[in-house]
Structure 1
C-alpha cells in the first residue's frame, strides 16, 4: 500500500467530502484541549470565506515557547478527538517575519489529510483536538513543534522561529472501526485490539492458504465502498510465515488514503474492500500473487502470504 502522511501532501478528491465526525452540537464543552489559547494565537486574524485562502494578519515578530490555538470561525460538529483523521486546508507563515511558507490548494473538493493527536506534525495535529468540522483555527506553533528547532537558512527560518498556521477543518472521519463485532472463523488469524484500536494479529498453526480468504471482523453501517473511490483507512499487515509486521499506519499514529482498484493497491486488498461499509474492520489473507502491487510500490512479501487488518474510516471522494 502507498501511504499519504505528509501534512501538505494534497490528495485529489473526486467528489464531495463525506464527514464522519459525529453529531451537530455546537459546543465543545467537556472536551479538554491538549493545546490552549494564549496571547500569541489570539492576535492572529484571518479574513476571507471558510475554504478559501485567507488573508492572515498578525504583529511581527510573533513567538511562543509553547504552541497555542485560538478559534477564528466556530464549526458545528462534535469536537474532534485524538485518532480521528481530518481533511483540511492550511496556510503556514513564519511568525518571526511574516514570510509565507506554504499553503494547500484550497480546492472545494480536495484537501490534505492529517490524523489528530500524536504525529510528526504536533503543532497542527495537537492543535486540532477539540476543533470542529467547519471551524477555522489559528495555531502559533513553537519552534520545537513546528520544525524541531532546526534552522533553515535557505528558507529564512531561524532555530527559534514560531510558525503561524491558519487551518480550515473541512471533514473528519472515524478514529477506528466502530461496527458490530462478528463471530470469529476457525482457522483464520485472531485479532486482538489495544485500547486505541491498534490490532495485534495471531496466525494459526497451519499452512498458509493458497487462495484469498476474507472475513469481516466488525460490520459497519456507513456508506458502501466502491471501485475507484478514495477511502480513509488505518491498517496493519504481517507475513503469515514470519509473523512480523511489514506495513502499518498504526506505528506512526496516522491514517492514510487508498484508491480502491488503483495500480497502487493490490488486487487482493481492493477486492477485499469493495462492497464493505464504512465502520467495518476487514481481515484479508492473501497469497503473494494477490498481495502484489502492479506499480511496484508494495511492501508485501513475495514468498509468503500476507495478512491485512483494515479499518475503513470514511470515503474521501
Structure 2
C-alpha cells in the first residue's frame, strides 16, 4: 500500500476552537496610533477613490484602528480562511493605489506568503478581528507606494481600508462517515490536507458518483444558486508515480476554489452541483469524475465544503 501524503492521519482530529470559532477576543497583534486614528473609516466602499490626505503625519510602525465593529466570529489566524474587502491609499496624498476589490477566500497563511509588506501586515492585523469589522491599517515606508515617483520605485505610507466579510475554518469539521466501497481510503495530515491510500491494482472505474467522508456539523447546507468556498484536491489514480497522482490542490498555497451551484449543461459542473447541493457546511466529500467527461481534473476529487453565500446575497 502507498499513500500520496506519506504517513497519514486516520482520524479527523479537530480542536474545539476550530469547530466553534474563538468565543473571546484574542489579543490584537497590531495597536492603534495617531495615523490610523486620523484616517479611520467607519464603512467599506468599493467605490471610494480617495481619503483625506495627511501629509504631515509621521509613521514609525504599523497601526490599526477599527472604525466599525462587527458581531461575527473572531478570526482564528492559525486555522481560518477569510473573505476580505480591501482598498489602499497613499497616506500623504490621499490618492487610491489601484482598484478596491473583494478578495477570493484565502487562508491567513496565504496572505503572509505573498511576500508583500502590506498583505503581511493585513495578516497580522486580522488577529483579534471578527466578521463584520471595518478596519483601517497604516503600513509605513512601502516600496512602490509613492504615486509621484516617476519610475514607480518610491516608498510611501499605505492606508488600507478593509472589511472582514467572512471567516471560517479552512478544513472540514464534523463526524467521520463509514467508508464506501469503490473509493480508496482517505487520510489527512495535521492541517487537514487529504491524501489517498491506494493499492497497486486500484481502479476508480467501479466507484460510485460521490460519497460523504465527513458530515459537517454546521446547521447550514449548500443550496442551489449558492456560491460555495471549497478546498479541492484533484487526483489521477492512474498515474504511475506517487508524485504525479496529485494534479492540483488548493492546499498548496491556501487560495480556495469558489463555485456557483447552478444548473449547467456541462457534465463536470452538473456533477459538482449534484454532489454539493444539500451537503452540510463543514463536510468533506469524494467525487468520481468519469473519464468520458474529459474534464482535465483527474478521476477522483476530495472536496472540503467550507462556506456558502446564498444567491440573494
Normalised TM-score (structure 1): 0.72
> 1:227 maps to which residue?
224
What does residue 134 of structure 2 align with?
136
Question: In structure 2, do the counterparts of structure 1 residues 24 and 153 end up closer, same or farther at CA, with 3 Å as the change threshold?
Answer: closer
- In the TM superposition, what is the alpha-carbon distance from 1:64 to its structure 2 partner? 5.5
Tell me, what secondary structure is at the counterpart of 2:169? coil
Look up the SS of the partner of 1:315 in the other structure: strand
2:45 and 2:138 mapped to 1: Cα distance?
Answer: 20
Correspondence for 2:96: 100
State the alpha-carbon separation in 2 of the partners of residues 154 and 211 from structure 1.
63
Cα distance, 1:112–1:316 mapped onto 2, change above 3 Å: farther
On the 8 A contact 1:268/1:290 being kept in 2, the answer is: no
Who is 1:14 aligned against?
none
- Which structure would you say has the larger Rg? 2
The residue matched to 1:217 in structure 2 has which SS?
Answer: strand
User: What's the CA shift for 1:288?
Assistant: 2.1
Q: Aligned-residue CA RMSD in angstroms?
A: 3.5
Which residue does 1:271 correspond to in 2? Answer: 274
Work out the CA distance in 1 between the residues paired with 2:190 and 2:233.
16
* Unpaired stretches in structure 1, ≥5 consecutive residues: 1-19, 106-110, 293-298
User: Do 1:87 and 1:113's aligned partners in 2 also have CA atoms closer than 8 Å?
Assistant: yes
Q: How many residues align?
A: 275
SS in 1 for 2:272: helix
Q: Which structure features the higher share of helix residues?
A: 2
Instruction: Provide the secondary structure at the position in 1 that maps to 2:104.
Output: strand
Q: Deviations over 1:17-68 (max 9, x none)?
A: xxx995796x51xx24454445543443225x46676674462366757544
User: CA–CA distance in 2 between the matches of 1:252 and 1:100?
Assistant: 28
The Cα of 1:155 is off from its aligned counterpart by 8.5
**Can you list the C-alpha shifts for 1:226-260, whole angstroms capped at 9, x where unaligned?**
33321111111121122422121111112231112
Aligned mates of 2:97, 2:235 — CA distance in 1: 39
In structure 2, stretches of 5+ residues that fail to align are 1-17
Kindly tell me: are residues 132 and 256 of structure 1, through their superposed partners in 2, closer, same or farther at Cα, counting changes over 3 Å? same
Deviation at 1:93, TM superposition (A): 0.7
TM-score by length of 2: 0.72
1:276: Cα distance to partner? 1.4
Task: Report if the CA contact (8 A) 1:87-1:114 is conserved.
Answer: yes
The corresponding residue for 2:9 is none
